[in-house]
Chains A and B, each alone.
Chain A
Amino acid sequence: MKPRTLRYLALEGARGIKRHRGLTFTAVITMTASLLVLGVFLVTSYNVRRAIKNLESRKEVMVYLKDGLQPSDLTMFENRAKLQPAVQSLAFISREEAWNEFSQSMKVEGLQEAVGGNPLPDAYRIELKPERRNAFTINALTQEMSGWDEVDEVFSGGEWVGRLDNFAKSVLLFTAAIGIAIGLSIIAIVSNTVRLTVVARQDLIHIMRVVGASEGFIRVPFLSEGVLQAFIAALLALAGLYGTTEFVSARFGGVQFLSPLWCFGFLSLAMLLGFLGSAFSVRHVLRQANI
């Protein structure tokens, strides 16, 4: 197909939108409604994923040290800890720093005198590599470090880490399943909506066939029309979603709109769905019409 032809046919799709304003309006509104459903689902899963990521960043291991360790013992501990493949970094928290933090959070005057001195031990806060923040690795590291001479106790919140992992997996599976279901239903809706415009323009298809246009030629205007309609609908849906998210966020807080990358993904997905929907309906009409 020559570039001049492709341009003409693609513009033919754009002209179709202008020429059939009523049909286009119906198609775009229907698509916008469907994409809004997809958008609400995406915003929800985006925020759930964000919450999980936030929780995952808190997956850390606290190592409480025995009393009376020498600086050389601490150096040895640090060197051994850094050799662990799961460890990203470690920060020393002296017993004084820990006490300050604790007493500030308790906000009680004369606490140290009341308990007879600082009972807290020196500790290390160990940050894990993001890909190793799972229950299995954390439990293995906890067990390993518990056996070291310098270590009094290791705390990793093991059980909640396991639960969070399971929850994250369930969320991933659930969102994937729902996403596929919504995507398929949108293809069906878009396909049926675009079919209205295709059927309304059977004269164009017939004349193209009569003058010797291949099915590829015939499809281009309808595909470009479907993609353009889906793009407009996706922009409207994003605007609607943005408004809704802002409203909910102002009322209840904590809800964030999609990031620019997710918005781009949403627009691309909508155009892909528009393309597939148009492709199905044109093929269907061409087969049914047998022209």
Chain B
Amino acid sequence: MIKFFHVNKSYRNGDGAALSDVNITIDDGEFVYLIGPSGAGKTTILKLIHMEEFPTDGEVIVGGFTTAAMTRKKILTLRRRVGVVFQDFRLLKDRSVFENVAFPLRLFGEFNPVQIQERVDHVLNQVGLLHKADRLPTELSGGQAQRVALARAVVNHPFVLLADEPTANLDPKTSEEIIQIIRRIHAEGTAVLLATHKMELVYNSGERYVRVDRGTIVEDWVDPLRGVK
């Protein structure tokens, strides 16, 4: 569960508050769009969940960790349980698709090579790129690169996936494909918080959306029939 309690955030060199009195609750396994124009505060909300940033006032609770009592070690533990994707993919261009996805698994030495192979194959299959495992990121299209980034984000079985404008650099058809993959990841039990300024992706989806504008929550819409359908 993710909870924001009266969160205010100001950056040291910023003009005014990035977030003002934000209150949100995201349940385990929920799918939530975070929408709003550029500079509205969407990325700040994601950074607070990932604990790259801390609130100036208020409290953020993520999966049992609270910003009020975080240590460096706890932050690292939290980050290993949170998956993140960015609009610019951020893949390591000097290694194969397989190695990009395996990177978080290799880094902490918790898995042997056979387990790594199994996990990576599974997520690459999930995003439809198992056949490109040996390719370099430079040989992929934008949509394929984002799918690799998604595979890397979920290979560690995070409880939440934070997606910061994952379709911003993609055409409508590819964007739709990416959203479908994220939905499949969500269907396996991972909560998703997807920040986007593409309203057309959101309004007809039937999913909950939280609209942010100038650092405040201006709308928190949940389908009244959710749970009934």
Contact = CB atoms under 8 A, between A and B. Distances in A.
Given A212-B76, A212-B79, A207 B109 contact: no
Interface in B72-112: 72-73, 75-80, 84, 90, 92-94, 103-104, 106-110
Nearest to B105: A211
Contacts of B84: 210
Nearest to A291: B52
Interface stretch (A1-9, A65-73, A185-193): A1-9
Contacts of B109: 1-5, 8
In this complex, the interface size class of chain B, counting residues with CB under 8 Å from chain A, is 20 to 34
Given A4-B109, A5-B109, A213 B92 contact: no
B79 A210 contact: yes
B33 to A, nearest CB: 21
Given A5-B108, A8-B107, A212-B78, A207 B90 contact: yes
Among B72, B76, B93, the one with the most A-chain Cβ atoms within 10 Å of its Cβ is: B76
Interface in B47-83: 50, 52, 72-73, 75-80
Contacts of A214: 72-73, 76
Interface residues of A, number: 22
A211 B92 contact: no
B156 interface: yes
A80 interface: no
A211 B72 contact: no
A284 interface: no
A212 B77 contact: yes
Q: What DSSP secondary structure best describes chain A's contact surface?
A: helix
Contact of A213 (B73, B76, B90, B110): B76
Interface string A154-198: 000000000000000000000000000000000000000000000
B90 A211 contact: no
Contacts of B108: 2, 5, 212-213
Nearest to A3: B109
A209 B73 CA distance: 12
B160 to A, nearest CB: 14
Given A211-B107, A212-B79, 10 more contacts: A2-B108, A8-B109, A19-B94, A203-B90, A207-B90, A208-B107, A211-B103, A212-B77, A213-B76, A214-B73
Interface of B: 50, 52, 72-73, 75-80, 84, 90, 92-94, 103-104, 106-110, 156
Interface of A: 1-5, 8-9, 19-20, 203-204, 206-214, 217, 291
The 8 closest A-B pairs by CB, nearest first: A212-B79, A5-B109, A2-B109, A4-B109, A212-B80, A211-B104, A19-B94, A212-B76
8 contacts: A8-B109, A207-B103, A211-B79, A211-B107, A212-B75, A212-B77, A212-B78, A212-B104
